Structure 1
C-alpha cells in the first residue's frame, strides 16, 4: 500500500466509526504538500490550512496563520492541514484538534522526525530569553510529542512518502439513538430540534428553569470537554429564554462574557440564526467579523470582557470559558444579575476545569444561590471513542490528575529538585506534578508544559509526602542581562519575555544596573487543595530561598494578581511589594503586584531604595489610576512599608486648619481636603503607622488617598457614614497631637477651644 492508498483507507475507517484519523507527513515539506494536494483534489468537503509560513496553496482551502488559531474555535471542517514545520505552539494543537468532524482527517506537516527532535522552531525563539543562547534551549517537548504520535492509535506516520506507521484503529461503531424531546416543555419544540445530542436537548430543558422569578438568584453550571456543543446549546436556548422573559418584561438584556470574543462566537451564531428564522429584525455589530452585539427593539445580546462585564447589570448573564476567569470575579457577577449561566471547559486548552470545580463551585454553594449543575459527555462532531481526542489529552497533559494525599506532618515533607527529563520518563509522577498546577490555578495551558520542557531558564521543584507530590513549583531564573539588553529596555522600551522582574525594575526605576542582578521568579507555586492552610506553601518557599542563597542569587521574586490573601501569604514569608500595574488584566480584572525578597546585601540596599520610590508614587496612583484597587490590598501594601522617621509635612497654617476641622470650629472636610491628603500621604510614609488601628488606617486610605465617597468608604469599613465622619475628626486630632503635640500653637489651640466650649456650656446651663 502506498501513501495515497493508506490515506484513502484511513478516510474510509474514519467515516465508518464517525471518528477522525491523523496523518503525520514528515520529511520534505514540498513533497508532503504534494501528497495532501493530490489526495484532496478529488475530495469534497471543507478544508482549513493553518501554518506559520503561508507560502502554499490548497484549492478551496480556507487559510489561516497559526497566530489566528483562536478564530477557528467553534468552526467545523472535514479536513485540517496543520503545518508545524516552522513552529509548534502546544496551545494551537489544543485549539484546533476539535474543529474536524467525524469522518474527517487531520494532516500534520512536520520536518523529518529525527531531525525535528533537535531543531529549533519559532516557538523556541519566543521562549528563549537573554542571556541564554540557542545552545541552551532544551529540546525535550518535541521528542515527547513525537513519542505520543508513535504510541497512539488512529495516527499514521508517512516520511518522505514511506509509511512508517499505518495508524489503523478498529474502534466501535456507536449505536445511533434518536433524540428524545421532553413531553412537557415551555420552549417551542422547534428550539429542541436544533440540538444534535441528547445532552444538548437536556440542557435546553434545564434552561427553562431561568424563566421563573429567581429567589434571589438562579445559577446553571454547565461543564464539558471541548467539542460537546455547550456554547451552541446556550446559543440555541437564549432566543427561547428571551421570548419567555418578554412576557413579563418589556425589554431584556443578556450579557455574554468570556476571556476572548472568539470564545462566544458559537453562542452569537446560533442565537442570530434562530432569531432571524423567527422573523426578528435585528441589528448586528462585529469587530473584524467577530460578532459582539445583536439586538432588536426589545432585547439585546452583547459581549463584554470580564473586567467590563462586572460593571454592568443584565437580566441574564452568560459566562463562557468560566474556568479561565478568577473565582472572585465569577462570584462578583452574582451582584449584577439574578439569572446566570456558568459554562466551563473541563480539561480544555485554555484553563483548568477541575480547578473551576475546586476553587469556584465550592464557594458558589456557600452563597444564597439556587444551583443547577449539568455536564455534557457526547461530542457533537465525532464519536466519543475518537482516538485523536485521546491523543491530545495524553500528549498535552490535559487530563493530568493530582494524587490523593493528606499531609499529617509538615516536617515529613521532602523538597525535590525535579529534572524535566526524568519527569517525562515517569508519566505517573509527571501527571501528579501537573495535576496540582491544574487544580490550584485558574489559568493553565499546554504552553506551560512546553516552556518547562524547553525554556533554558525554567525549572521544576516539588514538595512530596510519602513519595507523592503535594506542592508543585515552576521557577524561572532571571537577570544577568547583557548591556545591550539593558539599553534596549531603558531606551527602547523593549519587552524581554522571561525576564519579568529585571525589565520591570529598569523600566520603572530607571537604572540599567538592575538588569545585572540575578534572581529567581516563582512563576507558579501550587499546593494540593486538600492540603491548604497547613504551612506547605511557606515550607516550599523556605526551601526555594535556601536553594537561591546557595547559588548566591540576589533575590527571589513573584508577580501575581493582587488579592489581600495572596499578598499576606508572601508578606508572611518575608517578601515585599515593589511594584503594581496601573491597569487591570482584561480577564482577571486584577492588578498585578510584584514582590521580592533580597538575598544579597547589595541588592537589599537597592530594594530599600526602590521601595521608598514605589511607596511615594503608589499613593499618587491611588487617587486616579488605582482608585478602584481593593482598599484591603492597598492597605496591605502600605502597611508593608517599614516607614521613615518623619513628620506629617504640614506647615503651621495647615496644622491650624486641620485643628479647626478636628474640633469642628468652622472648617469642613471639603475645605481641608488638601491638608488631609498631605497628612495621610506622609502618615503612611512614617514609622508611626501603628498609632492608628487597621480600621482607622483604612479610613484614611479610602477617603483621603483613594478619594472614595463617604457612602463607599462606610461600606468598606462596614459602618455608617456619620460614624466615619466622627472617626475622621478624632483621627486628625490624634495625629496632630502625636506628631506636633509639643508645639505651643497646638497646645494653645486645644486650650482655647476647650475654654470656649466650657464657657458656652456654662451659658447654656445658666
Structure 2
C-alpha cells in the first residue's frame, strides 16, 4: 500500500519507497481486540474473527449512573463551590486528577510568594493543557498582571488558550468588554493566539513568548511552560527564575522528546527544594517544588484497549522498554550491525520488541518523535539503520543490549543538469539536504554528483552515556563505508537486499478479502547482519546536520568532521543555528592534492572559515566565544623561528596595503604604553582577520586568541568580556596588550628583513678548523722561523757582500788609527777608512768599458742590417 506521503521520501537516486509502515499497521489490527474490520457490505473480515467472542464489560455505577471516580469528582466540586476563584473553575474539570491539579496550581497562585515551581506530568490525553488554562484564568482573577506562556510553537497552545477563555466564562468575564484575544500575523503560526489583554480589574496581559526569549522575563510574575519536554533542557533551565513557574510535560507520546526533563531537571528541582527545607532560613527563602501526575484519561476510558494498541503501534509509550544493561563492555569490544528493515517492521514478536527498544533510545536521547518519523524510518528508500552491540552470546536465546542506534540517509548522485537547474531556479527538491545546501553555498555543481551519507539520528543508551559508545559507532561507520571492515574477497560478502514489496492491487488479484488471513511474513532475512558480512555502498563523504551547541560541535569535530554551513537565522524554538558538517572519506574516484587532512574539501573549508570570520560581527555576534573558537579552530602554536623573507614575501605585499607606516607607529606607541586602546581600535579587526586567516604566524595562548576574537571579530568591549570570560578587566587588558606586542614584534621583524635585503652584503668569511694539532702547528712555525733566520745568516756572510768592508793593507792607515800610543780606545772600536770607493770606482770603470764595447758591436750590427735592407 503506497501513500501520497511517499513522494516526500523519494529522491533522484532513490525513487522506490516501501510500504513497511502500512504492512505493520494492518497486521496490528489483528491484535487489537476492540477493532472490527469490515468490507463495504459490512461483512466482518477474517482479520477480525476475534469479534465473534465479544462479551460486555461490567461497569460499576451507583444509582445515579456515576462511577467511583466521577463520584469523587462530584464531591470535590461540592466542597469548593463557595471558594473563589477555585469553585467556578473546578466545575470545568472532567476528571478527579485534573481537578486536583487545578487546586494545586491555584494554591501556589494564591500563596503569592512567587517562589514555587509546580510540575505537571502525564501521558497524552489526560488534560494537562486544559488544567494549565484554567489555572491561568484563576491567576488573572487573583490579580496577576504579567503572565508569560511559552511552548515549542503557538500551535501547541491552542487547547491552553481555549480553556483560558472557558475559565473567563466561568468567572463571568465578557470578551470584547473585559478581555480581547489577539491572533498572530505570522504566517508560520497560522493565526494562533499569542496574547490576551484583560481590562476588568486593571491592565493585565497573557503573552506568548518563544522559548529562547528568556531575556523578556524581567517583569514576569507567572511563567507557564507547556510541553516542556519538547524544549531542550538548557533552554528550559534558562527560563526558570525568581517567579512562579508552572511546567507541563508529556512523559510519552510524540509531544515529548524524552525523559531528560523528568530525570534531570525535575530531579534537580526536588533536591534543591529538599535542601532548602532542611533549614529555617532555607524554608523562608528557598524555592518550593511540587510535582503532579495525571493517570486518569479523558480521551479514553479506563483500560481502553484502543489506547494501548495505538501506543504500541506508534511507539508512544516506549520509556518502559529501556532495559537495564546486563554487562557494560569496553567500546573497543563492540561491533556494528546492520538492521534489516523488512524484518524489523514485520510485526514478529522479537522484532517488535527490538523496534520498541530502538525507539526508546531515540526518546531518551531527546529527539522529538512523531508518527511521521516512524514512517520515514520504515518506508524511506534511502534510509538505513545500524546498531552498536556488545559481544553477542549466541548460546543465549535473547535479544542483545542495544548500546547505540544510528539512522543514516544516503544522499547525492544528483545529475549535473539537475544541479544547474536548481541554481538557476533557486529551488531545492526535498531530500538530499547536504548536497543541495553545499551546491547553494558554494554555487558548485560537481559536489551534488558525489555520493554520501547523512547521519540523521544517533542515540546512546541512557545508562551508558558519555562512555565512548557513540564515538565507537561513528568510527566503525566511517571505516565501514571506506571499505576497511569488508573482507578482501568480495565473494565472501553477502549483499543483503531488502525484499521488494508487492503492491496492493497485485495482491488483491490473488486473494479475496473474505478469504484472506493476514499474518506476518515468513522466510525473512536475519534481523541483524554484521557489517563485515555486508557490502558497503561506495561513498565519498559522511555528513551531519544538527542544532549548533558547543558539546555537539566538539563531538563531531573530534571525529574529524568539518563545518561548511551555519545558518544565520536561529531556530525560533530552540534559538540554535543549523550547522552542517562533513567528513571526506578515502575514495579513489576523487583526485586531490593531499596537502591537508580535508582532501578535496580543503578549499571549501577555507572559504567557509573566511566567510564565518566576516559574519562574526553581524549574524554571529552573540555567539559564545568558546563555540566560535571551536568552529574557527585557529592554529595558535607556531615554531619560534625568525621570519624569513621567503616565507613572508607574499604577506608583505598585502600588509603594506592594510597597514601604513603611521599605523605601525601607533601600534608601537600602544605596545610601549605611550597611547591608549582607542588609538589602535581601528587596527584590531584588521590584525584579527589576518591572524585567524593564518597570515600572522604568531604563537598565542588560547585565552589571548579568545580575547582577540571577541574584540577584533565580534566587536565586543572589555566590559562584555568580563562577564563572558569571568576575568577581571585588568587581566583581559593584559592579555590583549600581550597580543598586540607579539603582532608588532612580528610585523617589525619582517619589515626589518625586507630593508636588510636591499642593502649590499659583505662577503662572508668561512672559518674552517685546522687539519693538524696545536703541537704540530707550533713545531712547523718554529721550523719556519729557523729556516728564515738561517737564510738571512747565509746572505749576510756572502763574500761579495763582505767585500764592501774590505781594508787595503796599508800600515799608514793603521798607524793613524792607533796614533794614541798604539792603544785601543776604551770603547773597543778602531776606525780605519775603507778603500771601498776606489774599488767600486775601479769596478764601475771596467763595467762601463765592457758595456761600451757591447753597444759599439750592437750599433755596428744594426748598421750592417740597414745596409742589407737598403
Is TM more than 0.5 here?
yes
Paired with 1:636 and 1:210, the residues of 2 have a C-alpha distance of 45
Q: Tell me the equivalent position of 1:339.
A: 244
Partner SS, residue 677 of structure 2:
coil
1:511-530 matches, cutoff 5 A: 511-530=444-463
Q: How high is the TM-score relative to the length of structure 1?
A: 0.75
Note closer, same or farther for the CA distance 1:705–1:139 as it changes in structure 2 (3 Å cut). Answer: same
Q: Tell me the equivalent position of 2:735.
A: 727
Q: Tell me the equivalent position of 2:837.
A: none
Paired with 2:698 and 2:454, the residues of 1 have a C-alpha distance of 32
Partner SS, residue 341 of structure 1:
strand
Q: Deviations over 1:350-375 (max 9, x none)?
A: 33342433454446567785432221
Q: Tell me the equivalent position of 2:343.
A: 422
Q: Name which of 294, 301, 315 aligns with 2:221.
A: 315
Q: Deviations over 1:537-596 (max 9, x none)?
A: 110011110111124311111111111111111111111122211111111210111111
Q: Name which of 375, 380, 393 aligns with 1:450.
A: 375
Greater strand content: 1
Q: Tell me the equivalent position of 1:495.
A: 428
Say yes or no: does 1:124 pair with 2:13: no
Note closer, same or farther for the CA distance 1:706–1:586 as it changes in structure 2 (3 Å cut). Answer: same
Paired with 2:268 and 2:548, the residues of 1 have a C-alpha distance of 19
Is the contact between residue 9 and residue 376 of structure 2 (CA under 8 Å) also seen in structure 1? yes
Q: Name which of 552, 558, 566 aligns with 2:552.
A: 566
Paired with 1:122 and 1:266, the residues of 2 have a C-alpha distance of 29
Q: Tell me the equivalent position of 2:209.
A: 304
Is the contact between residue 251 and residue 258 of structure 2 (CA under 8 Å) also seen in structure 1? yes
Q: Tell me the equivalent position of 1:402.
A: 322
Say yes or no: does 1:618 pair with 2:524: no
Say yes or no: does 1:147 pair with 2:27: yes
Q: Name which of 659, 662, 675 aligns with 1:651.
A: 659
1:145-224 matches, cutoff 5 A: 145-161=25-41, 162-164=43-45, 165=48, 170-171=56-57, 173=59, 175-177=67-69, 178=71, 179=73, 180-181=75-76, 187-207=85-105, 208-212=107-111, 217-224=115-122
How far 1:699 moved relative to its partner? 1.7
Q: Tell me the equivalent position of 2:156.
A: 263
Partner SS, residue 259 of structure 2:
helix
Query: Which segments of 5 or more consecutive residues in structure 1 lack a partner in the other structure?
Result: 1-115, 247-251, 748-766
Question: Number of matched residues?
Answer: 619
Paired with 1:432 and 1:269, the residues of 2 have a C-alpha distance of 37
Is the contact between residue 13 and residue 414 of structure 2 (CA under 8 Å) also seen in structure 1? yes
Partner SS, residue 557 of structure 1:
strand
Q: Tell me the equivalent position of 2:839.
A: none
Q: Tell me the equivalent position of 1:294.
A: 196
Of 354-363 and 730-739, deviating more is 354-363
Q: Tell me the equivalent position of 2:231.
A: 325
Note closer, same or farther for the CA distance 1:363–1:471 as it changes in structure 2 (3 Å cut). Answer: farther
Q: Tell me the equivalent position of 1:589.
A: 575
Q: Deviations over 1:384-410 (max 9, x none)?
A: 222222221111111222221152422
Paired with 1:659 and 1:340, the residues of 2 have a C-alpha distance of 56
Q: Tell me the equivalent position of 1:285.
A: 182
Paired with 1:643 and 1:391, the residues of 2 have a C-alpha distance of 61
Is the contact between residue 255 and residue 317 of structure 1 (CA under 8 Å) also seen in structure 2? yes
Say yes or no: does 1:629 pair with 2:598: no
How far 1:527 moved relative to its partner? 0.6
Is the contact between residue 479 and residue 502 of structure 1 (CA under 8 Å) also seen in structure 2? yes
How far 1:157 moved relative to its partner? 1.0
Q: Tell me the equivalent position of 2:685.
A: 677
Say yes or no: does 1:661 pair with 2:670: yes
Q: Deviations over 1:608-651 (max 9, x none)?
A: 11111101111121111111223221111011679998769552
Is the contact between residue 643 and residue 685 of structure 1 (CA under 8 Å) also seen in structure 2? no
Is the contact between residue 643 and residue 684 of structure 1 (CA under 8 Å) also seen in structure 2? no
Say yes or no: does 1:351 pair with 2:256: yes
Partner SS, residue 155 of structure 1:
coil
Paired with 2:19 and 2:142, the residues of 1 have a C-alpha distance of 57
Q: Tell me the equivalent position of 1:63.
A: none
Q: Tell me the equivalent position of 1:505.
A: 438
Paired with 1:470 and 1:275, the residues of 2 have a C-alpha distance of 51
Is the contact between residue 527 and residue 537 of structure 1 (CA under 8 Å) also seen in structure 2? yes
Note closer, same or farther for the CA distance 1:342–1:660 as it changes in structure 2 (3 Å cut). Answer: farther
Of 349-358 and 562-571, deviating more is 349-358
Q: Tell me the equivalent position of 2:599.
A: 605
Say yes or no: does 1:390 pair with 2:308: yes
Q: How high is the TM-score relative to the length of structure 2?
A: 0.67
Q: Tell me the equivalent position of 1:46.
A: none
Q: Deviations over 1:121-179 (max 9, x none)?
A: 2110011122222xx21221110111112221221112232321375575453634321
Is the contact between residue 225 and residue 346 of structure 1 (CA under 8 Å) also seen in structure 2? yes
Note closer, same or farther for the CA distance 1:349–1:677 as it changes in structure 2 (3 Å cut). Answer: same
Note closer, same or farther for the CA distance 1:312–1:169 as it changes in structure 2 (3 Å cut). Answer: farther
Is the contact between residue 703 and residue 735 of structure 2 (CA under 8 Å) also seen in structure 1? no
How far 1:418 moved relative to its partner? 0.6
Partner SS, residue 36 of structure 2:
strand
Q: Deviations over 1:179-221 (max 9, x none)?
A: 1539698853222222221111221222222444558x53222
How far 1:243 moved relative to its partner? 3.5
1:364-379 matches, cutoff 5 A: 370-379=288-297
Note closer, same or farther for the CA distance 1:745–1:414 as it changes in structure 2 (3 Å cut). Answer: closer
Partner SS, residue 142 of structure 2:
helix
Note closer, same or farther for the CA distance 1:224–1:676 as it changes in structure 2 (3 Å cut). Answer: same
Paired with 1:160 and 1:689, the residues of 2 have a C-alpha distance of 79
Q: Deviations over 1:104-136 (max 9, x none)?
A: xxxxxxxxxxxx3xxx32110011122222xx2
Note closer, same or farther for the CA distance 1:269–1:377 as it changes in structure 2 (3 Å cut). Answer: same
Is the contact between residue 310 and residue 332 of structure 1 (CA under 8 Å) also seen in structure 2? no
Larger radius of gyration: 2
Q: Deviations over 1:659-718 (max 9, x none)?
A: 33344433433x533311111122112177882222222222223212234333211101
Q: Name which of 167, 170, 173 aligns with 1:274.
A: 167
Q: Deviations over 1:271-320 (max 9, x none)?
A: 22323534361122113653211112431101122234554432211111
Partner SS, residue 459 of structure 1:
strand
Paired with 1:470 and 1:655, the residues of 2 have a C-alpha distance of 59
How far 1:495 moved relative to its partner? 2.3
Note closer, same or farther for the CA distance 1:284–1:676 as it changes in structure 2 (3 Å cut). Answer: same
Q: Tell me the equivalent position of 1:533.
A: 466
Paired with 2:753 and 2:613, the residues of 1 have a C-alpha distance of 30
Q: Tell me the equivalent position of 1:463.
A: 388
Paired with 1:376 and 1:130, the residues of 2 have a C-alpha distance of 48
Say yes or no: does 1:545 pair with 2:451: no
Is the contact between residue 423 and residue 429 of structure 1 (CA under 8 Å) also seen in structure 2? yes
Note closer, same or farther for the CA distance 1:617–1:720 as it changes in structure 2 (3 Å cut). Answer: same
Q: Deviations over 1:318-360 (max 9, x none)?
A: 111111111111111125x522222111222233342433454
Q: Tell me the equivalent position of 1:753.
A: none
Partner SS, residue 157 of structure 1:
coil
Note closer, same or farther for the CA distance 1:442–1:369 as it changes in structure 2 (3 Å cut). Answer: farther
